[in-house]
Amino acid sequence: MPQNVPVFQFSENALKLRQFVYEHWCAEGRGPTLLEVHRATGLTRRQAQQAYKELQLGTIVVVDQDAMNASLIKCQPFSSFPSQVSAYVDGEFHSFAGCAMESVAFSKMPPFAGKEVRFESWCACCFEPITLVSKDLEYVSVEPEGVLIHVGLSPYEWNNVDIQRMCDSMNFVIDAEHAAAWESQTARRGVLYTLEQATEFVRSTAENRMHDYHWGVVPVMPEIIIDFAKALGVDVSAWEASRA
Ligand SMILES: [Zn+2]
Protein backbone atom coordinates (compact mmCIF):
# COMPACT_ATOMS: atom_id res chain seq x y z
CA MET A 1 0.00 0.00 0.00
CA PRO A 2 2.22 2.89 -1.16
CA GLN A 3 -0.03 5.50 0.44
CA ASN A 4 0.97 7.81 3.27
CA VAL A 5 4.60 6.79 2.70
CA PRO A 6 6.78 8.81 5.09
CA VAL A 7 8.65 11.48 3.16
CA PHE A 8 12.15 10.35 2.22
CA GLN A 9 14.97 11.93 0.26
CA PHE A 10 15.59 10.74 -3.28
CA SER A 11 19.18 9.58 -3.70
CA GLU A 12 21.50 11.39 -6.10
CA ASN A 13 21.15 8.44 -8.48
CA ALA A 14 17.36 8.72 -8.42
CA LEU A 15 17.47 12.48 -9.07
CA LYS A 16 19.91 12.02 -11.94
CA LEU A 17 17.80 9.25 -13.44
CA ARG A 18 14.56 11.22 -13.09
CA GLN A 19 16.04 14.25 -14.82
CA PHE A 20 17.34 12.11 -17.68
CA VAL A 21 14.01 10.30 -18.14
CA TYR A 22 12.16 13.64 -18.31
CA GLU A 23 14.63 15.10 -20.80
CA HIS A 24 14.64 11.98 -22.94
CA TRP A 25 10.87 11.61 -23.02
CA CYS A 26 10.33 15.27 -23.87
CA ALA A 27 12.92 15.08 -26.67
CA GLU A 28 12.09 11.66 -28.10
CA GLY A 29 8.44 11.10 -27.18
CA ARG A 30 9.28 7.81 -25.47
CA GLY A 31 11.03 6.56 -22.38
CA PRO A 32 14.69 5.55 -22.53
CA THR A 33 16.01 2.02 -22.76
CA LEU A 34 18.28 0.75 -20.03
CA LEU A 35 21.22 1.20 -22.42
CA GLU A 36 20.31 4.85 -22.96
CA VAL A 37 20.02 5.31 -19.19
CA HIS A 38 23.42 3.70 -18.67
CA ARG A 39 25.16 5.77 -21.34
CA ALA A 40 23.65 9.06 -20.24
CA THR A 41 23.93 8.67 -16.47
CA GLY A 42 26.71 6.14 -15.97
CA LEU A 43 24.42 4.10 -13.72
CA THR A 44 24.93 0.34 -13.76
CA ARG A 45 22.00 -1.98 -14.34
CA ARG A 46 21.57 -2.52 -10.61
CA GLN A 47 21.93 1.17 -9.75
CA ALA A 48 19.35 2.08 -12.36
CA GLN A 49 16.94 -0.60 -11.13
CA GLN A 50 17.28 0.57 -7.54
CA ALA A 51 16.86 4.21 -8.55
CA TYR A 52 13.71 3.34 -10.50
CA LYS A 53 12.32 1.58 -7.41
CA GLU A 54 12.89 4.75 -5.39
CA LEU A 55 11.21 6.85 -8.07
CA GLN A 56 8.24 4.50 -8.09
CA LEU A 57 7.92 4.69 -4.29
CA GLY A 58 7.96 8.46 -4.74
CA THR A 59 5.19 8.23 -7.39
CA ILE A 60 7.34 9.50 -10.25
CA VAL A 61 7.37 6.40 -12.48
CA VAL A 62 5.82 2.99 -12.91
CA VAL A 63 8.45 0.45 -13.83
CA ASP A 64 8.34 -3.34 -14.03
CA GLN A 65 10.46 -3.96 -10.97
CA ASP A 66 10.87 -7.62 -11.86
CA ALA A 67 12.30 -6.87 -15.30
CA MET A 68 16.07 -7.10 -15.64
CA ASN A 69 15.85 -4.41 -18.31
CA ALA A 70 13.91 -2.01 -16.08
CA SER A 71 10.90 -1.85 -18.39
CA LEU A 72 9.52 1.65 -17.98
CA ILE A 73 5.71 1.73 -18.14
CA LYS A 74 4.98 5.31 -17.15
CA CYS A 75 6.69 8.49 -16.12
CA GLN A 76 4.08 11.13 -15.50
CA PRO A 77 2.84 12.88 -17.56
CA PHE A 78 3.88 10.25 -20.15
CA SER A 79 2.76 6.72 -20.87
CA SER A 80 4.71 4.02 -22.74
CA PHE A 81 1.51 2.41 -23.96
CA PRO A 82 -1.32 3.87 -26.05
CA SER A 83 -3.48 5.75 -23.55
CA GLN A 84 -6.74 7.74 -23.83
CA VAL A 85 -4.83 10.92 -24.67
CA SER A 86 -2.43 11.54 -27.56
CA ALA A 87 -0.22 14.62 -27.38
CA TYR A 88 0.85 16.60 -30.45
CA VAL A 89 3.67 19.14 -30.43
CA ASP A 90 4.43 21.36 -33.43
CA GLY A 91 1.57 19.64 -35.24
CA GLU A 92 3.08 16.16 -34.96
CA PHE A 93 2.34 13.24 -32.69
CA HIS A 94 4.70 13.46 -29.73
CA SER A 95 3.65 10.87 -27.15
CA PHE A 96 0.85 9.39 -25.13
CA ALA A 97 -0.12 11.28 -21.99
CA GLY A 98 -0.62 9.18 -18.90
CA CYS A 99 -4.32 10.00 -18.64
CA ALA A 100 -6.73 12.92 -18.88
CA MET A 101 -5.54 14.40 -15.57
CA GLU A 102 -1.88 14.06 -16.47
CA SER A 103 -2.47 15.73 -19.81
CA VAL A 104 -3.57 18.86 -17.93
CA ALA A 105 -0.06 19.41 -16.58
CA PHE A 106 1.78 18.32 -19.74
CA SER A 107 2.32 21.73 -21.38
CA LYS A 108 4.14 23.03 -18.29
CA MET A 109 7.16 20.78 -18.90
CA PRO A 110 10.05 23.19 -19.58
CA PRO A 111 10.88 21.91 -23.11
CA PHE A 112 7.31 22.75 -24.17
CA ALA A 113 7.34 26.29 -22.74
CA GLY A 114 5.60 28.72 -25.06
CA LYS A 115 4.39 25.92 -27.33
CA GLU A 116 0.80 24.93 -28.00
CA VAL A 117 0.34 21.26 -27.15
CA ARG A 118 -2.70 19.61 -28.72
CA PHE A 119 -4.40 16.66 -27.08
CA GLU A 120 -6.63 14.27 -28.94
CA SER A 121 -8.93 12.17 -26.82
CA TRP A 122 -12.54 11.03 -26.71
CA CYS A 123 -15.54 10.94 -24.44
CA ALA A 124 -15.20 7.81 -22.33
CA CYS A 125 -18.83 6.83 -22.79
CA CYS A 126 -19.42 7.33 -26.51
CA PHE A 127 -16.05 7.86 -28.29
CA GLU A 128 -17.04 11.35 -29.44
CA PRO A 129 -13.75 13.15 -30.22
CA ILE A 130 -12.39 15.67 -27.71
CA THR A 131 -9.61 18.07 -28.69
CA LEU A 132 -7.83 20.38 -26.28
CA VAL A 133 -4.99 22.81 -26.86
CA SER A 134 -2.90 23.88 -23.91
CA LYS A 135 0.00 26.28 -23.53
CA ASP A 136 1.98 26.86 -20.34
CA LEU A 137 -0.70 25.16 -18.21
CA GLU A 138 -3.55 27.17 -19.73
CA TYR A 139 -6.18 26.02 -22.19
CA VAL A 140 -6.15 27.87 -25.49
CA SER A 141 -9.12 25.92 -26.90
CA VAL A 142 -11.38 23.09 -25.83
CA GLU A 143 -13.66 21.21 -28.20
CA PRO A 144 -16.46 20.59 -27.33
CA GLU A 145 -16.74 23.31 -24.70
CA GLY A 146 -17.42 22.25 -21.14
CA VAL A 147 -15.45 19.00 -21.22
CA LEU A 148 -15.04 17.43 -17.79
CA ILE A 149 -12.66 14.90 -16.25
CA HIS A 150 -14.34 11.95 -14.59
CA VAL A 151 -12.34 10.29 -11.82
CA GLY A 152 -13.86 6.92 -11.14
CA LEU A 153 -11.71 5.61 -8.32
CA SER A 154 -11.58 6.75 -4.70
CA PRO A 155 -8.18 8.12 -3.68
CA TYR A 156 -8.16 5.34 -1.10
CA GLU A 157 -7.55 2.97 -4.01
CA TRP A 158 -4.95 5.12 -5.78
CA ASN A 159 -1.51 3.56 -5.93
CA ASN A 160 -2.51 0.38 -4.09
CA VAL A 161 0.13 -1.35 -6.20
CA ASP A 162 1.08 1.40 -8.64
CA ILE A 163 -0.82 4.28 -10.23
CA GLN A 164 -1.98 2.49 -13.37
CA ARG A 165 -5.50 1.80 -12.14
CA MET A 166 -5.78 5.37 -10.88
CA CYS A 167 -4.78 6.82 -14.26
CA ASP A 168 -7.09 4.43 -16.09
CA SER A 169 -9.97 5.84 -14.03
CA MET A 170 -9.31 9.46 -15.07
CA ASN A 171 -11.15 10.10 -18.33
CA PHE A 172 -12.52 12.96 -20.36
CA VAL A 173 -16.31 13.13 -20.72
CA ILE A 174 -18.35 15.62 -22.72
CA ASP A 175 -20.58 16.66 -19.82
CA ALA A 176 -22.30 15.39 -16.66
CA GLU A 177 -24.83 13.41 -18.66
CA HIS A 178 -22.08 11.55 -20.49
CA ALA A 179 -20.35 11.01 -17.15
CA ALA A 180 -23.52 9.35 -15.82
CA ALA A 181 -23.59 7.09 -18.88
CA TRP A 182 -19.93 6.21 -18.29
CA GLU A 183 -20.70 5.38 -14.66
CA SER A 184 -23.46 3.03 -15.77
CA GLN A 185 -21.17 1.36 -18.29
CA THR A 186 -18.44 0.80 -15.72
CA ALA A 187 -20.76 0.19 -12.73
CA ARG A 188 -18.58 2.66 -10.84
CA ARG A 189 -19.32 6.07 -9.36
CA GLY A 190 -16.90 8.92 -9.42
CA VAL A 191 -16.40 12.66 -9.22
CA LEU A 192 -16.16 15.33 -11.90
CA TYR A 193 -13.48 17.98 -12.28
CA THR A 194 -13.89 20.97 -14.54
CA LEU A 195 -10.73 21.81 -16.48
CA GLU A 196 -10.22 24.82 -14.20
CA GLN A 197 -10.43 22.61 -11.11
CA ALA A 198 -8.16 20.01 -12.73
CA THR A 199 -5.61 22.72 -13.54
CA GLU A 200 -5.48 23.79 -9.89
CA PHE A 201 -5.39 20.14 -8.81
CA VAL A 202 -2.17 19.51 -10.79
CA ARG A 203 -0.64 23.00 -10.54
CA SER A 204 1.90 22.22 -7.86
CA THR A 205 3.10 19.12 -9.71
CA ALA A 206 3.24 20.98 -13.00
CA GLU A 207 5.23 23.86 -11.54
CA ASN A 208 7.76 21.62 -9.80
CA ARG A 209 8.19 18.73 -12.20
CA MET A 210 11.41 19.19 -14.16
CA HIS A 211 11.51 22.83 -12.98
CA ASP A 212 13.04 21.79 -9.64
CA TYR A 213 15.78 19.17 -9.94
CA HIS A 214 15.44 18.41 -6.23
CA TRP A 215 11.62 18.27 -6.22
CA GLY A 216 10.83 16.11 -3.21
CA VAL A 217 8.55 13.17 -2.57
CA VAL A 218 4.83 13.97 -2.50
CA PRO A 219 3.13 10.96 -0.89
CA VAL A 220 -0.30 9.76 -1.98
CA MET A 221 -2.46 10.79 1.00
CA PRO A 222 -6.11 9.93 0.35
CA GLU A 223 -7.64 12.18 2.99
CA ILE A 224 -5.65 15.21 1.86
CA ILE A 225 -6.45 14.52 -1.80
CA ILE A 226 -10.19 14.42 -1.08
CA ASP A 227 -10.02 17.55 1.09
CA PHE A 228 -8.06 19.36 -1.62
CA ALA A 229 -10.56 18.41 -4.32
CA LYS A 230 -13.38 19.57 -2.06
CA ALA A 231 -11.63 22.89 -1.45
CA LEU A 232 -11.42 23.37 -5.21
CA GLY A 233 -15.19 23.03 -5.40
CA VAL A 234 -15.28 19.45 -6.72
CA ASP A 235 -18.38 17.59 -5.53
CA VAL A 236 -16.67 14.70 -3.73
CA SER A 237 -19.85 13.13 -2.34
CA ALA A 238 -19.14 9.90 -4.23
CA TRP A 239 -15.92 9.61 -2.21
CA GLU A 240 -17.18 10.68 1.21
CA ALA A 241 -18.40 7.23 2.24
CA SER A 242 -15.02 5.74 1.32
CA ARG A 243 -13.47 7.71 4.21
CA ALA A 244 -15.33 5.64 6.82
ZN1 LIG B 1 -20.00 10.37 -24.13
Q: If you measure from the C-alpha of residue 173 to the centroid of ligand 1, how many angstroms do you get, rounded to a whole number?
A: 6
- 195 CA to centre of ligand 1 in angstroms: 17
Alpha-carbon dihedral sign for residues 159, 160, 164, 170: negative
**b/e per residue 101-114 (b: at least 16 CB within 10 A):** bbbbbbbbbeebee
Let me know the angle formed at the C-alpha of 102 by 45 and 145, rounded to the nearest 5 degrees.
160
Q: How far apart are CA 13 and CA 42, in angstroms?
A: 10
Paired with 119 in beta bridges are 87, 132
Look at residue 220 in the predicted model and tell me its pLDDT. 93
**Ligand 1 geometric centre to CA of 124 (Å):** 6
Distance, CA 121 to ligand 1 centroid (Å)?
Answer: 12
Ligand 1 centre distance from Cα of residue 179 (Å): 7
Q: Which domains are assigned to the chain?
A: 12-75 (1.10.10.10), 81-243 (3.30.450.410)
Cα 165 to averaged position of ligand 1 atoms, centre (Å):
21
Give pTM, 2 decimals.
0.95
The pLDDT tens digits for 82-99 are 999 999 999 999 999 999
- pLDDT (0 to 100) of residue 1: 55
User: How many beta carbons lie within 10 A of that of residue 118, not counting itself?
Assistant: 21
CA of 15 to the centre of ligand 1 (A): 40
pLDDT of residue 242: 87
Question: Ligand 1 center to residue 127 CA distance, Å?
Answer: 6
Residue 92 C-beta-side C-alpha neighbours within 13 Å? 5
Q: How far is the CA of 196 from the centre of ligand 1 (A)?
A: 20
Q: 102: CA distance to ligand 1 center in Å?
A: 20
What are the residue ranges in the chain where pLDDT is below 50? Answer: none
Looking at residue 243, its pLDDT comes to 87
How do residues 113-164 score in pLDDT, each as one tens digit? 999 999 999 999 999 999 999 999 999 999 999 999 999 999 999 999 999 9
Dist CA 134 CA 201 (whole Å):
16
State in Å: Cα 170 to ligand 1 middle.
Answer: 14
